[in-house]
Amino acid sequence: MGDLQIRKQTKTYDAIIVGSGAGGGMAAYVLANAGLKVCLLEAGPMYDPAKDSSQLKNPWESPRRGASTKFRPFGDFDGCYWGWQIDGEPYTHVGDTKWEWWRARMLGGRTNHWGRISLRFGPKDFKRKSIDGLGDDWPIGYDDVKPYYDKIDELLGIFGTNEGLDNHPDGIFQPPPRPRLHELFIKRAATGIGIPVIPSRMSILTKKINNERGVCFYCAQCGRSCKAYADFSSSSVLILPAIKTGNLDVLPHAMVRQVITNKEGLATGVSYVNTLDLAEYQLEGRTVILAASACESARLLLNSKSAAHPGGLANSSGVVGKYLHDSTGADMGGIIPELFDRKRYNEDGVGGMHVYTPWWLDNKKLDFPRGYHIEYGGGFGQPVYGFQWGMENLNGTYKINGKQKEAGGYGASLKEDYRYFYGAHIGMAGRGEAIAFESNYCEIDPGVVDKFGIPVLRFHVKPSEHEIKQAKHMKETFAEILHAMGAVITWGGDAGPENNYGLHAPGNIIHEAGTVRMGNDRRTSALNKWSQAHDCKNLFCVDGGPFVSQADKNITWTILALSMRTSEYIVDQMKKREI
């Protein structure tokens, strides 16, 4: 390598935001609209769903028929760049830790492909320690966040229904889509055994919300990101509109190395490497807002050591990287004989489920402390790679058009079988709350750097008996529902203590949080209740990092609400010259 120089960008910003997912996009939107000069750094390329999405492609337009690759673990049409592994950007594990870390590298981050499941935390979700003695209470409560949930419901759009349920707050909803056939079956069976099934709550537009965004046209492909901007992506709904204010500059291909601080310990900007030409830069700003994802933000803080912050930035408490937790997950699938040989019609609907089950039980009467919700799948999906794989395990089990066949086979008779079983499969996924433990953490691996020379994360995470017992309960519930609807389990029925009852490896559900947690006590938290660092008043974190606990709800809607709340606080503090 020749002479390595660090170039200083001449423009100084009011705010530098690292990361362009839900948290970073919202911060950019609020601050740019408030008139601040904002620079958003994103490690991946620009992305605009309108131009770049693979929406409405047919399976044969992919040479691998939609199968996954390391570049797109959720399939060839998926709207997310990278996933569990990125070339040249490793992460490591301690002992038998099985942590899996999903990282997106693109404008909008993971919001380009996420499930759009948008659930408010309830009042109890902020105060779990007071209820069961585990983990910690948040320094804020539902009433602090409710005004922001209301605002994002209206700004971003969400469908659902007001049900008046305990701890599953109502919202400002557009009408949901009608349930599909298998969802009506599930609802009838589950409600019959006391398990509620209600319309799902997803940030997809069933009604027009403004002139910039289209309305859902029911192709079921939100995961590819929507060309009509009819679902919420940070790219389409927040960042591209924020660019139009003239107050936001986006720097793609900018991998942030470090937050720079001065002698007083205040943040003065960031240093980053351009991933295309590997040139090194510094950028100055009045505030630095981290939104790189819970673990990337923790990594950045831990890599930003200085004389004023010897243990890493915002880490005098030593909690940065700790309390790492993900949603729990366990799944099961089955086949509904009543649905064999179904009449064909288009039942794509929205991308994902039209109904779901919110947590419905009282943990005081159970042997595990926190709840879960259930997501449902099924129907006439677009055939992709793996379609009806393993027919030899199915077609000898049921009479097909009245005939008992030998399992396996070939020829015209086999073609009949594929048609016969199409659209009769369903799946269930439990997604629940894990306890945030100090002993589950990520830290800087002392011996490993990525291809940019940035020290990487090392993970140390183990599921506790609480999560394992919860997974056991999930599996029992799924089996009960399947049984009640006359379905037969086809996969996921092999749960036992030997496999933690099918509990997914932590990280696998991609709801990681807790690594830069907020709190009133600066000895046990990195951020105050505004997501502002105790140790550095012009440093903020607005991704999953600040979460004290993460409820039995997907966390994106709360990331958005908290990011909006923090961003408004930043505007206010800047006006008052506090930062």
Partner 1 sequence: MDRRKSIKTLLISSASFAVLAEACKSDDKKTVTAKDIPVAGDSGLDRMKEEEEYEKQLMANTFFTPDEMATITLLGDMIIPRDEVSGSASDAKVPAFIAFIVKDMPRHQTPMRGGLRWLDVQCLNRFGKSFQHCTAPQQVEIVDMIAYPKKAKPEMQQGVAFFSLVRNLVATGFYTSEIGVKDLGYMGNVPNNWNGVPDDVLKKYSISYSEKELKECISFG
Map the footprint of partner 1 across residues 258-287, applying CB under 8 A.
276
Q: Applying CB under 8 A, does 359 fall inside the site for partner 1?
A: no
Q: Applying CB under 8 A, does 384 fall inside the site for partner 1?
A: yes
Site for partner 1 in 197-216 (CB under 8 A): 199, 206-207, 211-215
Among 113, 120, 180, 257, binds partner 1 (CB under 8 A): 180
Q: Applying CB under 8 A, does 441 fall inside the site for partner 1?
A: no
Q: How far is CA 545 from CA 137, 173, 275, in A?
A: 15, 28, 25
Taking the complex as a whole, the smallest distance from the CB of residue 139 to partner 1 amounts, in Å, to: 36
Q: Which of 448, 79, 545, 46 is nearest to 254 (CA)?
A: 46
Q: Applying CB under 8 A, does 452 fall inside the site for partner 1?
A: no
Q: Candidates 344-352, 500-508, 515-523, 532-540: pick the segment binding partner 1 (CB under 8 A).
A: 344-352
Q: Applying CB under 8 A, does 475 fall inside the site for partner 1?
A: no
Among 252, 285, 334, 352, binds partner 1 (CB under 8 A): 252
Q: Which residue, 152 or 219, is less far from partner 1 as judged by CB?
A: 219
Q: Applying CB under 8 A, does 217 fall inside the site for partner 1?
A: yes
Q: Which residue, 117 or 471, is less far from partner 1 as judged by CB?
A: 117
Q: Applying CB under 8 A, does 76 fall inside the site for partner 1?
A: yes
Taking the complex as a whole, the smallest distance from the CB of residue 397 to partner 1 amounts, in Å, to: 11
Which amino acid belongs to residue 254?
Answer: A
Site for partner 1 in 23-42 (CB under 8 A): none
Among 178, 401, 465, 520, binds partner 1 (CB under 8 A): 178
Q: Which residue, 7 or 207, is less far from partner 1 as judged by CB?
A: 207
Among 363, 382, 464, 524, binds partner 1 (CB under 8 A): 382
Q: Which residue, 26 or 189, is less far from partner 1 as judged by CB?
A: 189
* Chain centre distance of CA 527: 22
The helix (run of H) or strand (run of E) holding residue 183 is: helix 181-192
Q: Applying CB under 8 A, does 161 fall inside the site for partner 1?
A: yes
Burial (CB count within 10 angstroms: exposed 0-12, middle 13-18, buried 19+), residue 124:
middle
Q: Candidates 226-234, 300-308, 311-319, 507-515: pick the segment binding partner 1 (CB under 8 A).
A: 226-234
Residues in Cβ contact with 90 at an 8 Å cutoff, skipping those fewer than 6 apart = 448, 450, 456
Q: Which residue, 212 or 465, is less far from partner 1 as judged by CB?
A: 212
Among 29, 77, 376, 478, binds partner 1 (CB under 8 A): 77
* 3-class DSSP assignment, residue 38: strand
Taking the complex as a whole, the smallest distance from the CB of residue 529 to partner 1 amounts, in Å, to: 34
Helix ranges restricted to H, 105-141: 128-132
Q: Applying CB under 8 A, does 195 fall inside the site for partner 1?
A: no
Q: Which residue, 380 or 547, is less far from partner 1 as judged by CB?
A: 380
Site for partner 1 in 479-538 (CB under 8 A): none
Contact 129, 137 (CB under 8 A): yes
Q: Applying CB under 8 A, does 251 fall inside the site for partner 1?
A: yes
Per rule CB under 8 A, count of chain residues that contact partner 1: 102
Q: Applying CB under 8 A, does 407 fall inside the site for partner 1?
A: yes
Strand positions, DSSP E, 301-353: 328-335
How many other C-beta atoms can be found within 10 angstroms of the C-beta atom of residue 146?
16
- Please give the Cα distance from 123 to 145 (Å, whole number): 10
- Residue 134's φ and ψ, nearest 5 degrees, are -105, 150
Kindly report each contact of residues 129-132 with a partner whose C-beta sits within 8 Å and lies 24 or more positions away, as own/partner: 132/363, 132/369, 132/370
Q: Applying CB under 8 A, does 108 fall inside the site for partner 1?
A: no
Among 377, 383, 455, 493, binds partner 1 (CB under 8 A): 383
Residues in Cβ contact with 200 at an 8 Å cutoff, skipping those fewer than 6 apart = 117, 159, 160, 176, 352, 353, 354, 355, 356
Q: Applying CB under 8 A, does 167 fall inside the site for partner 1?
A: no
Taking the complex as a whole, the smallest distance from the CB of residue 69 to partner 1 amounts, in Å, to: 7
Among 147, 154, 279, 338, binds partner 1 (CB under 8 A): 338
Among 229, 232, 441, 501, binds partner 1 (CB under 8 A): 229
Q: Which of 114, 204, 122 is nearest to 166 (CA)?
A: 122
Among 175, 192, 318, 453, binds partner 1 (CB under 8 A): 175
The helix (run of H) or strand (run of E) holding residue 261 is: strand 254-261
Q: Applying CB under 8 A, does 387 fall inside the site for partner 1?
A: yes
Taking the complex as a whole, the smallest distance from the CB of residue 464 to partner 1 amounts, in Å, to: 34
Among 123, 396, 455, 493, binds partner 1 (CB under 8 A): 396
Helix ranges restricted to H, 1-109: 22-33, 49-52
Q: Applying CB under 8 A, does 176 fall inside the site for partner 1?
A: yes
Q: How far is CA 446 from CA 122, 302, 303, 452, 458, in A?
A: 40, 12, 11, 16, 9
- Please give the Cα distance from 199 to 60 (Å, whole number): 33
- Residue 336's φ and ψ, nearest 5 degrees, are -105, 105
Among 91, 422, 437, 547, binds partner 1 (CB under 8 A): 422
Helix ranges restricted to H, 351-464: 412-421
Helix ranges restricted to H, 157-293: 181-192, 240-243
Q: Which of 543, 459, 562, 558 is nearest to 110 (CA)?
A: 543
Contact 481, 193 (CB under 8 A): yes
Q: Applying CB under 8 A, does 94 fall inside the site for partner 1?
A: no
Q: Applying CB under 8 A, does 67 fall inside the site for partner 1?
A: yes
Residue written as token pair 């709904």:
237
Residue 310 in tokens: 């010897």
Q: Applying CB under 8 A, does 73 fall inside the site for partner 1?
A: no
